[in-house]
Structure 1
């Protein structure tokens, strides 16, 4: 697959021909790289297709999807460009790999959380769930972008209690906004700063496993109903 972004894909070892798999698109924070996110969800590699997307811009010892004027104020042209490129990447990957179109998930930390929430809002029902960790939704996304309904969306919102970059009031704003619009929102505050703890990682894996179980049960129920 040709792409603007360098990426790493992990496919289940025992893939079945003709079967479609749920996918997790992972977006890292500024100054990090795709492996930092894949490490959080590697326990799920036999159940999900995992795709870590590396930012196309260099930043310190890592990468970024866009640059900032200062925290909370992205370089608008770069942000808009990254949103369009990531939207296209998700579409291309969905056509290239055996991905279930009804089970696409986004996970992101910091800059990746900002993008994952923003992408969920513009992609609508093509995204099943999102896990934003320590980020926010830019006001211009809420006010100027064309947003779609997320009434179907499952959200696991994560926040650090002592995050000096995105403090608790930001996490609460995220929760209030998403709670009004999404199907379900789980909001957990961790005793951390701007980082992902081991407990946060364990909860993320557990939440995604529960999503897998729930979706499998629903698929079985739908098959039973259709047969009847």
Structure 2
């Protein structure tokens, strides 16, 4: 279904379970693009990096981009459904994953697909990180998922982004604030990319939860 890389904590015990982050890259990138940001927390999290299935130049995407406007609900939902099925498959294959602490982490198009999956199946996720994204109209106008009320959400956007204006990040944050009581929105002095400052902020966001509420545990404990 998807090519992927998985990074499990090196010193884990066989019975150990860890919070897990599923990453989705931007247009034209691949599964190697996102994990670098998360390398400092690979001793505490399982990282599953998902490569898009559509060839896009030297890299990949999750659906074929449109030149004008935004992709159809059918197009994005199809990609999100495939991601959902893939995640369900991964959960069955790897015993190191703590099903109660699943995160989605997406940039650009990967963030759009991740948001769609998160909104539709938010009950299974603990939180989501969506960077440099544009909120699909069908999500904004669609039914509200009440299961998202306690979910942790981080929205990041560059103030100089020429591809997706920072106003889209503001719009996305406002949307999620209508669904969740735990939304963080932060802008960064960058274009359509993730800066070192943004990476550090994201890592702190992930680690704060795990420091306050550690979940590394033994099976059946």
Runs of at least 5 residues in structure 2 that lack an aligned partner in the other structure: none
Partner of 1:157: 155
Partner of 2:28: 31
Q: Does the 8 Å contact 2:126/2:152 carry over to 1?
A: yes
Cα separation, 2, equivalents of 1:96 and 1:89: 11
- When normalised by structure 1's length, the TM-score is 0.88
Match of 2:130 among 129, 132, 142: 132
Structure 1 position 199 matched with structure 2 position 194 = no
Partner of 1:166: 164
Match of 2:174 among 156, 176, 183: 176
Match of 2:45 among 24, 43, 48: 48
Deviations 1:40-73 (A, max 9, x none): 1111111000000000111011100001222651
Matches within 5 A, 1:207-222: 207-216=205-214
Cα separation, 2, equivalents of 1:28 and 1:72: 21
- When normalised by structure 2's length, the TM-score is 0.91
Matches within 5 A, 1:75-86: 76-86=73-83
Partner SS, residue 16 of structure 2: coil
Aligned-pair CA distance for 1:136: 2.1
Answer 1 or 2: which has greater helix percent. 1
> After the TM superposition, which parts of structure 1 deviate over 4 Å for at least 4 consecutive aligned residues?
144-148
Over aligned residues, Cα RMSD in angstroms?
1.9
Structure 1 position 89 matched with structure 2 position 89 = no
Runs of at least 5 residues in structure 1 that lack an aligned partner in the other structure: 224-228
RCO comparison, higher one (Cα < 8 Å, 6+):
2
Cα separation, 2, equivalents of 1:148 and 1:35: 34
CA pair 177-78 structure 1, distance change in 2 beyond 3 A: closer
Which region of structure 1 is more displaced relative to structure 2, 189-198 or 115-124? 115-124
Partner of 2:103: 105
CA pair 71-212 structure 1, distance change in 2 beyond 3 A: farther
Q: Aligned pairs, how many?
A: 216
Deviations 1:75-98 (A, max 9, x none): 554322211110111111112112
